[in-house]
């Protein structure tokens, strides 16, 4: 499976590794894993990302080696590298501002990913949709190359598996994700430390806003639909950011008997941002599509043009219908 990738690595010296916009734990972890492997093999390697590294992952890059968000100067340097390695993405349109310099560069192209695809963007592609995470694949690459696994690479790859499986909750190809995680633990990864670094980053303001939102918890559909609402006033009074509401809706799904969870957030522009969650057998994507939004079967969203009260009335009714 890795023969072609190995051949490209063996026959080149400089590598630029990148991934999708708004990098997450798996894209950052996989990119760092590849970068560390290449450096251990005596190669020149650099990771570049379109957007900044979220706070949850900056600990993986204490010296700021990752070029993120990429500056014009960074982008200017990319064209001269021998090889472009794209991890955790397989479409050029996922690369934001980095698309043009990377796609048009004369470099050899390699893709390592686990997302479904329509057509290959690189002649050398390892895309395994059954893998839990790209990090799991990168571990396999490092292992099969016999390259040293540095402590930093091990932390990075464990982070990728942890976050893409949502703490081993959704383990596609479950045995492999756990087996790879076990090997990473054997190599010295401290799971408590990684979890703490990745998940315990709340601010006091966000936590207070969550408290205010949870005090407004409401039910409909005989307790099968739970919803929260966050007003502009609540955000301003707590000193939180609108983006701090990310993840609040997941709390509704921890309630016994709830099959659909919804959060309504008043946006600055006067719209209402809606996020929906559901149990595996219930499709909230169709509810979101009906509102002009979309997403996945069990996690979807939409933007409502109207008041908070109108949004609640419309969307909770649609949710009850979807039960």
Residues at the contact surface with Mn ion, assessed by CB under 5 A: 26, 88, 133-134, 164
Structure tokens at 286: 């169709």
Nearest distance from C-beta of residue 173 to Mn ion, angstroms: 13
Q: Nearer Cβ to Mn ion, position 36 or 164?
A: 164
Helix (H, G, I), strand (E, B) or coil at 45: strand
Nearest distance from C-beta of residue 221 to Mn ion, angstroms: 34
CB 71 within 8 A of CB 101: no
Burial class (CB in 10 A: 0-12, 13-18, 19+), 290: middle
Nearest distance from C-beta of residue 64 to Mn ion, angstroms: 23
Helix (H, G, I), strand (E, B) or coil at 246: coil
Give the pairing of strands 225-230 and 108-113.
Answer: unpaired
Nearest distance from C-beta of residue 150 to Mn ion, angstroms: 21
Using Cβ positions, the residue closest to Mn ion within the complex turns out to be: 26
Q: Nearer Cβ to Mn ion, position 133 or 316?
A: 133
Q: Rounded to 5 degrees, what angle do the CA atoms 134, 140, 141 make?
A: 90
Q: Nearer Cβ to Mn ion, position 165 or 245?
A: 165
Q: Nearer Cβ to Mn ion, position 134 or 316?
A: 134
| Count of beta carbons in the 10 Å neighbourhood of residue 280 | 7
CB 45 within 8 A of CB 77: no
Structure tokens at 223: 């307790």
Q: Nearer Cβ to Mn ion, position 90 or 316?
A: 90
Nearest distance from C-beta of residue 237 to Mn ion, angstroms: 37
Cis peptide before 69 (omega within 30 of 0): yes
Nearest distance from C-beta of residue 134 to Mn ion, angstroms: 5
Q: Rounded to 5 degrees, what angle do the CA atoms 23, 54, 74 make?
A: 65
Nearest distance from C-beta of residue 29 to Mn ion, angstroms: 9
Nearest distance from C-beta of residue 139 to Mn ion, angstroms: 13
Q: Nearer Cβ to Mn ion, position 33 or 261?
A: 33
| Count of beta carbons in the 10 Å neighbourhood of residue 117 | 14
User: What span, in angstroms and rounded, lies between the C-alpha atoms of 145 and 158?
Assistant: 19
Q: Nearer Cβ to Mn ion, position 23 or 301?
A: 23
User: What span, in angstroms and rounded, lies between the C-alpha atoms of 146 and 137?
Assistant: 14
Q: Nearer Cβ to Mn ion, position 19 or 273?
A: 19
CA 164 to chain centre: 7
């Amino acid at each position: 499976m890795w023969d072609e990738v190995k051949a490209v690595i063996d026959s080149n010296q400089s590598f630029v590794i990148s991934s999708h916009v708004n990098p997450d734990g798996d894209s950052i972890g996989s990119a760092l894993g590849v970068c560390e492997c290449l450096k251990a093999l005596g190669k020149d390697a650099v990771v570049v990302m379109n957007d900044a590294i979220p706070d949850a992952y900056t600990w993986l890059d204490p010296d700021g080696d990752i070029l993120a968000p990429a500056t014009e100067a960074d982008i200017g340097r990319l064209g001269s590298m021998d090889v472009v390695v794209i991890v955790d993405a397989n479409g050029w349109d996922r690369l934001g501002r980095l698309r043009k310099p990377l796609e048009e560069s004369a470099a050899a192209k390699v893709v390592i990913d686990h997302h479904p695809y329509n057509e290959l963007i690189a002649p050398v592609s390892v895309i395994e949709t059954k893998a839990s995470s790209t990090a799991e694949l990168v571990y396999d690459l490092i292992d099969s190359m016999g390259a040293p696994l540095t402590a930093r690479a091990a932390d990075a790859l464990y982070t990728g598996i942890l976050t893409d499986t949502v703490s081993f909750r959704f383990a596609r190809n479950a045995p492999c994700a756990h087996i790879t995680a076990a090997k990473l633990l054997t190599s010295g990864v401290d799971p408590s430390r990684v979890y703490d670094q990745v998940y315990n980053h709340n601010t006091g303001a966000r936590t207070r806003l969550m408290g205010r939102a949870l005090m407004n918890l409401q039910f409909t559909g005989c307790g099968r639909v739970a919803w929260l609402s966050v007003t502009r006033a609540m955000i301003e009074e707590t000193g939180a950011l609108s983006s701090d509401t990310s993840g609040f809706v997941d709390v509704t799904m921890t309630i016994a008997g709830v099959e659909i969870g919804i959060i309504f957030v008043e946006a600055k522009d006067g719209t209402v941002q809606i996020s929906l969650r559901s149990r595996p057998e219930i499709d909230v994507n169709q509810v979101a599509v009906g509102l002009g939004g979309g997403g996945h079967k069990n996690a979807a969203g939409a933007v409502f043009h109207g008041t908070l009260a109108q949004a609640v009335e419309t969307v909770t009714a649609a949710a009850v219908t979807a039960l």
